[in-house]
Amino acid sequence: MTDRQYDVIVVGGGLVGAALALALDAAGKRVALLEGSQAAFGDLEQGWDARIYAISPANRAFLQRLDAWPGSERLGVIAAMDVRGDNGGRIEFAASDADAEALAWIAENRWLLAALWRRLAESGVTCLRGARPRALATSPLTARMELDDGRQLSAALVAGADGANSWVREQAGLSASVKPYGHSGVVANFACRLPHGDIARQWFLGEGILAWLPMAGNRISMVWSTSDPQALLELSAPALAARVAAAGGHALGELELLTPPAAFPLRLIQPDAVVAERVALLGDAAHTVHPLAGQGVNLGFQDAEQLAALLAGSRDAGDWMLLRRYQRQRREAVKTMQLGCDGLFQLFHSTLPGVPWLRNAGLSLTNRLRPLKRQLARHAIGY
């Protein structure tokens, strides 16, 4: 017998940690959720958020099961994708290629977060906001944590969902290889003159990768992976809108800036292991990927769903065999996504002789092969 207060302490109440806490609560576990920031739902549900996610059908179903899927008036749909290379290459595929309703749904970060925290307020989860851990000690039977304000917590498992610079990862001694891309993702929302037709558009520009994602109404969200973010951030609103419209070949006519642009440094983070004694990592704490495939948070939601499913029937949520199973289960999916995104990034930034021709020819060839396109569409959906 032990004196543990909780089955699981989740550190980090971002999208992934909040989803895990709800899923574990639904499975009847005693859960504490620690979130360093104090933002209230009211603050979250203001205006348009430039940080948006393409949520896969599998993760939409997961969030719906948690009753934490935001209202439909805020959601965009990706019915098709149109991807262009830097030298005439092009591939287009649609949800219908995979006999599906949509490739993904576009949701804003703040509204997704608000939906999750609204549910948390009604759940049995002990939510500690504005709380940060100061120390973590584990033994074969228990994880003990001391908070900044001196409170002591104990649990069978500490789940680190505290983002790319994870404190839990560091405390657990889980080292990670960190590879900066030398690029930042510049995000901003725009109103567009022409209807986007629920099509996500992406351009491999040679010096960067530009994506326009369809939002509700005549709006798009941009993610521009570039080595010179400052050159975009410095522009006036009309100049930035004109620059982005031109980079996308004026595919949607004139653009008008709706949210100030923001830039995030892009890094590939790969820990050697995502579990340690009485500790498991998930979300960006466990992996980051280049946003060119828009899969970062999707991988994190799958971590949360699969970890919660593994722990659901367990008597000891920190059982080492279970943690090893979680690590094994997630390794393949995460590695495939990291290698795929990294490979594409390298391929489209290579200036080696012949490579620029090859990558464009490859796109166009794939575009003519129906079975391969079907496979791509199924992959985008997450089959």
Ligand X SMILES: Cc1cc2nc3c(=O)[nH]c(=O)nc-3n(C[C@H](O)[C@H](O)[C@H](O)COP(=O)(O)OP(=O)(O)OC[C@H]3O[C@@H](n4cnc5c(N)ncnc54)[C@H](O)[C@@H]3O)c2cc1C
What does the chain come to in residues?
A: 383
* Residue 43 phi, psi (nearest 5): -70, -35
Min dist. Cβ of residue 364 to ligand X (A):
25
Q: Which residues contact 123 (CB under 8 A, 6 or more apart)?
A: 21, 22, 25
Please give the residue ranges that form the binding site for ligand X (CB under 6 A): 11-17, 34-37, 53-54, 132-133, 161-163, 167, 185, 187, 223, 264, 283-284, 291, 294-298, 300
Tokens read off for 220: 């798009």
* Closest distance of CB 181 from ligand X, Å: 11
Smallest gap from Cβ 160 to ligand X, in A, equals: 9
Q: Least distance from C-beta 59 to ligand X, angstroms?
A: 9
Q: Based on CB atoms, which residue is closest to ligand X, 311 or 341?
A: 341
> What is the nearest approach in angstroms of ligand X to the Cβ of residue 360?
24
Tokens linked to 12: 């980090």
- Determine how β-strand 80-84 pairs with β-strand 90-94: antiparallel
Q: Please say which residue, 15 or 308, places its beta carbon nearer to ligand X.
A: 15
Q: Which is nearer to ligand X, 362 or 382 (CB)?
A: 382
Phi, psi angle pair for 346, to nearest 5°: -65, -45
Q: Closer to ligand X at the Cβ: 133 or 248?
A: 133
Query: Residues 340, 293: contact at Cβ < 8 Å?
Result: yes
How far apart CA 135 and CA 152 sit, in angstroms, is 10
Provide DSSP, 127-175: EEET--EEEEEE-SS-EEEEETTS-EEEEEEEEE---TT-HHHHHTT--
Closer to ligand X by CB, 11 or 192: give it: 11
Neighbouring-strand partners of residue 268: 179
Minimal distance in Å, beta carbon 357 to ligand X? 29
Give 55 or 241: the residue with its C-beta nearer to ligand X: 55
Give yes or no for a contact between 314 and 325, defined as CB atoms under 8 angstroms apart. no
Q: Count of alpha carbons within 13 Å of 44, Cβ hemisphere only?
A: 19
Residue 163 C-beta: closest distance to ligand X, Å: 3
- For the four alpha carbons of 111, 116, 120 and 126, in that order, the dihedral sign comes to negative
CB atoms within 10 A of CB 45: 18
In the bound state with ligand X, the residue whose beta carbon lies nearer, of 36 and 76, is 36
